[in-house]
Amino acid sequence: KNQVEQSPQSLIILEGKNCTLQCNYTVSPFSNLRWYKQDTGRGPVSLTIMTFSENTKSNGRYTATLDADTKQSSLHITASQLSDSASYICVVSGGGSQGNLIFGKGTKLSVKP
């Protein structure tokens, strides 16, 4: 069964600290993996998208890694800011149409002053 599992479920860190969020998937076939940021009550906003051949991709203070062999991805946030407080969702595309997007439940990150 195609699944995307994320850990931790929630995380609290102090402003300025770094953190790493994990994503494991069992989606096959695999097309790409995306990380989205979702503020409470808002739509998901894309942070990164990686294909099979990409190991790492950065977007400002966000760096995503992908190990397609172990089917794991991580999202590293550097020098966290209060505005980073949100849910971070790992989404895997099984290829074909957008309808094959498999969403994780997300990691709820709270950055405290």
**What is the contact surface with other proteins in residues (CB under 8 A)?**
32, 34, 36, 41-46, 49, 89, 91, 93, 97-99, 101, 103-106
Of 15 and 62, the one with the shorter C-beta distance to other proteins is 62
| Nearest CB to other proteins, comparing residues 9 and 70 | 9
Least distance to other proteins, CB of residue 24, Å: 15
Cβ atoms of 22 and 10 closer than 8 Å? no
Decide whether 4 or 19 has the Cβ nearer to other proteins: 4
The smaller minimum CB distance to other proteins, of residues 21 and 80, is found at 21
CA angle 87, 89, 67 (to 5 degrees): 135
User: What's the closest the beta carbon of residue 78 comes to other proteins, in angstroms?
Assistant: 23
First-to-last C-alpha distance (Å) of the chain: 41
CA 44 to chain centroid: 11
**CB 22 → other proteins: shortest distance, Å?**
16
* Gap between the Cα atoms of 94 and 111, Å rounded: 32
Least distance (Å) between residue 23 CB and other proteins: 12
In the 3-class helix/strand/coil scheme, how is 69-89 assigned residue by residue? CCCEEEEEECCCCHHHCEEEE
